[in-house]
Amino acid sequence: MQLSIAGGVREFAAATPAAPAVSDGGRELTFRALDDRSSRLANALLKAGLRTGERVAVLMGNRLEYPEVACGIAKAGLVMVPMNPRQTAAESAYILDHSQARAIVLDDAFAGAVDRLPRTVLSLGPSYEAVLATSPGTDPRVEVDEREPFCVAYTSGTTGRPKGVLISHRSRALTFYAAALEWGLGPGRRTIAVAPMYHGAGFAFGYAPVHTGGTVAMLRAWDPGRLLAMIAETRAQSVFLVPAHAHMLRAHGLGGHDLSSLDTLFFNAAALPRPLKEWVLDAFPGVGVHELYGSTEAGIISDCRPADARRKIGSVGTPWFMTEVRIVEGELFSRSPYLMNGYLGDPAATAACTTEDGFLTSGDVVERDDEGFLYIVDRKKDMIISGGVNVAPREVEEALAAFPGVAEAAVVGLPDERWGERVTAFVVTAPGAAVESARLVEHCRGLLSGAKLPRQIEFVPALPRNAAGKILKRELKEWHASPR
C-alpha cells in the first residue's frame, strides 16, 4: 500500500463517516461528504482528459473546498500546484507556464490574478457544484508511487524567480502523522486553518487534521478578533500561527474571549523575538507553546517543545522526528523523509543545495549549544559584511525588539562607500509609542559591539511579508533605493 494524501480521508470516511471534517462559517462537511465530493472532483478531472502526473493549479483562499480539491487531485493521480491569490497576473502566468498546469480550480474572486488560463477551468460556485453533481462518486483510486509528487509548491521568490518544489505523498503523509502526534491534530481534536493553505506550512497544518481524523475550521482572512472568537466558538484545542499573528494578537488584546479549550500553540515561518515569545508564554498560561523550524524544501527540521520554551528562548529546539542534522561551517543541513524531491526542471539548483549522501540545506546559519539545541543565527544570504565584520541581522533585530515601544524590526545591509555595507534598521513601533532613533542606538550600544550598531534607522508603518509571514528583505532594500 502506497502512502497518499488522500489516504486519511478514505480511512475516516469508513471509520467515522458522520464526524465533522471541515467547517467554514455556516457550512460543514462530514468525512463521508468530503470523501464523496473529492471523488466526484477526481472523476471530473479525469473525464476532462487529464492523465496521471499532470498538474492542476489551485487558486483560492482558505475555504471549505480546499481540502476536497487537494484530496480529489490526489485521488485522480494528478499533481496540485497551489497558487497565491495575492500574486500579480505576471507572477501567476510564470507559475502556470513553468508548471505546465493543464487545469485550474479557482475562486472567481481571484480571477484577476490570472490572465491566461489552462484549457480546463473549474470555477467554484454553481458551475462547480453542477460538475460534482453529474460526476460519479466512486473513488477512481488512481495509484501513484508514494515517492511521486502530490504537489509543486512554488517558493516565495524573495531572491529571484520562484522555484517549483516537488513534494512527495510520502513526505507530506508522514508530516501529517508526526504533526498529529506532536501538536494534537488527531481524531476528535479541533483546530483552525489560520495560515493560508496555498503556502506549504499553511497546507500542512490545515490539511493534517482531516488526514488524521480531526476537524479543521477555516479562517477566511486574517483578523485577530475573528480568530479569538473562532477559538471560543469551535472550542479549538490546537492552533498554528506565525510570529506576525502573535504581534497582532498582542496589539489587539485577548480580553473578552473564552480560550479555555486551547491547549497547544505552535509557531513557524520566522523566529519569535524574545519579548514576543515571553508575551505568548505569559498571555496563554497552561498552553503548550512549540516553536518549530523548517522550510518548503526540507519540511520540518526541529521543534522547541513546551518543557524548554522558557529556558531556551531563542532556540528552535532539537531535531524533529526522523530527522538528522549536520552543521558545516555554521550552515545547517538536514536529512529526513520530509525532504523535497528537487526543484522542477532545475537540476542545477537541486544539486547546489543537496549533498551526495542525501542532506539538504536551506541556507541558514546556526549555532548549537551543549545540549544540542539549535539557534538560527541568520540566513546565509542575509549576512551583512560591514567593515570586514560579519553581522547577523537577527542579532541586531533582537536587540532592537528589546527596546520599549518597538513592535518589530528588520535589519538589512545597504551599500556604503566606506564600510561596504551599513547596518540599516527598519522599525515598526507599537501603537501610541514614541521612539527616538538616538535612544534606540544608545540602547543597542549596551548589547552590541560597534560594528553591529545600526548606522541608519527608518521608522515604517509595517514590514513587507510573504504568504508565510516571512519578512521580504529584498523589498526593504528596494524601498530604500526608490523615491518614496
Q: Stretch 469-477: mean pLDDT, rounded?
A: 83
- pLDDT score for 222: 93
Averaged pLDDT score across all residues of the chain: 92
- The whole-number pLDDT of residue 394 equals 84
Of 341, 279, 345, 268, nearest to 310 by C-alpha is 279
Q: What is the structure's pLDDT at 272?
A: 85
Compute CA distances 385 → 109, 122, 216, 416, 475, whole Å: 45, 50, 45, 11, 19
Is the pLDDT at 114 greater than 80? The verdict is yes
Question: Any idea which of 228-237, 273-282, 283-292, 375-384 has the lowest mean pLDDT?
Answer: 375-384
Compute, in degrees rounded to 10, the torsion defined by CA atoms 239, 245, 251, 252. Answer: -50
Average confidence (pLDDT) over 176-189? 97
Domain coordinates of the chain in residue numbers?
Answer: 384-481
Higher confidence at residue 360 or residue 161? 360
Structure confidence by residue, pLDDT tens digits, 81-105: 999 888 888 889 999 999 999 999 9
pLDDT for residue 159 is more than 70: no
Q: What is the pLDDT of residues 35-63, one digit of tens each?
A: 999 999 999 999 999 999 999 999 999 99
Strand ranges (E), 96-205 = 103-106, 120-123, 149-154, 164-168, 190-193
* 171: Cβ contacts below 8 Å, ≥ 6 apart: 299, 337, 338, 339, 340
Answer left, alpha or beta for residue 160, where phi above 0 means left and psi between -120 and 50 means alpha: left
Contact yes or no for 84/467 (Cβ under 8 A): yes
205 confidence band (pLDDT: 50, 70, 90):
very high
How many percent of the chain have pLDDT more than 70?
97
DSSP string, 140-155: ------TTSEEEEEEP
Alpha helix (H) ranges present in 353-472? 393-401, 437-445
Q: Over the stretch 374-431, which tens digit does the pLDDT of each residue have? A: 998 877 778 787 866 778 888 899 899 999 999 999 999 888 766 778 899 999 999 8
Beta bridge partners of 81: 57
Q: For residue 363, what pLDDT band results from cuts at 50, 70 and 90?
A: confident
Residue 83 has φ and ψ, to the nearest 5°, of -125, 150
The total of other beta-carbon atoms located within 10 Å of residue 372's CB is: 12
Tell me which CATH code domain 384-481 carries.
3.30.300.30
Q: Are the C-beta atoms of 470 and 156 separated by less than 8 Å?
A: yes
Smallest CA-to-CA distance from 393 within 405, 369, 377 is with: 377
